[in-house]
Amino acid sequence: MSNGYFQITLPENEPVKGYLPGSPERAALKAELDRQLANPIEVPMIIGGKEIRSGNKAKMICPHDHQKVLGEYYIAGEAELLRAIEAAEAAKAEWENMSWEHRATIFLKAADLLTGKYRAKLAAACMLGQSKNPYQAEIDVICELADFLRFNPYYVQEIYKQQPNNSAGVWNRVEYRALDGFVAAITPFNFTSIGGNLPTAPAMVGNTVLWKPSSTAVLSNYYFMQILIEAGLPAGVINFVPCKGVDFGKVVVSHPKMAGFHFTGSTAVFNGIWNQVGANIDKYVTYPRLVGETGGKDFIFVHESADIEALTCAIVLGAFEYQGQKC
């Protein structure tokens, strides 16, 4: 048994590359864009660490050019979703009992793979599958996702360090454990970084997860799932199950062992999930924790000292950059 004391230092934000003319990152990205366009792929489900293919498939296309097909992905049905739940439950005990620093190393390794040898691959997939320009893809699927993978283990450490005060003759200690069941994660089309964060954040603290990626962001999400596996994520900890929302709701959200729901998407969908959980509340093993981020644009309050030209630029970008599909 290890008795070392391990500490993660406060990370630094991943530097943003500029993709300027003549730069090596620009050349690598252009080559990868050409490669992915010329080589459509087949994306399986990943359940219990195994690639699963069903009889139901859908195409992945470029939103900006519907004639360009990036490949096809397999769609999970009721049988595959139930299998994923079984895989999550089977992996739970060993994963939860793994030392937190060992879990953390997997995600820290994933960040290094993402920002290293797979940087061009993930950026190109985000550009082609979600219609982002090089700068938008860089700050999303590379820098922000890498920051999630590095800062979240640090924050896990800080949470675990929080302990109650002691009294005379008493040493009070708190141990943190995972939820009593699995976590369901539904992720959005507009940010691959959120796609990667919603399943990995609960996994870092010992939970096992069913991950339903957006049907219009499968490609980059799948490549990130491959990175997690290469980084050492054990089978069944995160199960990658592209599927129809109605099937996920019927099979997964209503399952007695769903202990957490992690979501970014529309307000209407989250309201529907909340209603569904309420209608099934007497069936659950525990009260599910619901975390949802939903859509909307903010008011802008401007101080009289503001730089009007910079403000105008920021307002236009906030409203219309990436077709207005940003938070």
Q: Take residue 211 and report the two structure tokens written for it.
A: 């991950």
321 tagged catalytic: no
> What local confidence, expressed as pLDDT, does residue 1 receive?
61
DSSP state of 81: H
At residue 14, φ and ψ (nearest 5 deg) are -65, 125
41-43 and 65-74 beta bridge pairing = parallel
Q: Is residue 109 part of a domain?
A: yes
> What local confidence, expressed as pLDDT, does residue 321 receive?
87
* Cβ–Cβ < 8 Å for 214, 252: no
Give the active site residue among 293, 304, 309, 313: 293
pLDDT, tens digit, 9 for 90 and up, residues 240-258:
999 999 999 999 999 999 9
Taking residues 195-220, report their average pLDDT. Answer: 98
What is the Cα–Cα distance from 263 to 238, expressed in whole angstroms? 15
Q: Could you tell me if 125 and 91 lie in one domain?
A: yes
- Return the percent helix, strand and coil in the chain, to nearest 5: 50, 15, 35
Q: Could you tell me if 72 and 114 lie in one domain?
A: yes
What is the Cα–Cα distance from 185 to 158, expressed in whole angstroms? 24
Q: Is residue 309 part of a domain?
A: yes
| Distance set, CA 158 to CA 162, 196, 207, 292 (Å) | 7, 21, 18, 23
Confidence band (pLDDT; 50, 70, 90) for 318? confident
Q: Is residue 253 part of a domain?
A: yes
* Cβ–Cβ < 8 Å for 242, 72: no
Q: Could you tell me if 229 and 193 lie in one domain?
A: yes
Q: Could you tell me if 184 and 302 lie in one domain?
A: no
Q: Is residue 221 part of a domain?
A: yes
Q: Is residue 213 part of a domain?
A: yes
Q: Which run of H or of E encompasses 67? A: strand 65-74
Q: Is residue 12 part of a domain?
A: no
- The per-residue b/e assignment along 246-269, b for 16 or more CB within 10 angstroms, e otherwise, is ebbbebbbebebbbbbbbbbeeeb
Specify the number of domains making up the chain.
Answer: 2
Q: Is residue 5 part of a domain?
A: no
313 tagged catalytic: no
Which residues make Cβ contacts (< 8 Å) with residue 200, sequence separation at least 6? 107, 110, 148, 149, 152, 228, 238
Confidence band (pLDDT; 50, 70, 90) for 72? very high
CA-nearest of 182, 202, 194 to 251 is: 182
pLDDT, tens digit, 9 for 90 and up, residues 120-172:
999 999 999 999 999 999 999 999 999 999 999 999 999 999 999 999 999 99
Q: Could you tell me if 60 and 108 lie in one domain?
A: yes
Q: Could you tell me if 237 and 313 lie in one domain?
A: no
Structural domain including 317 reads 296-327
User: Residue written as tokens 């959980």?
Assistant: 277
Find the CATH number of the domain harbouring 186: 3.40.605.10
Q: Could you tell me if 98 and 247 lie in one domain?
A: yes
45-47 and 50-52 beta bridge pairing = antiparallel
Q: Is residue 13 part of a domain?
A: no
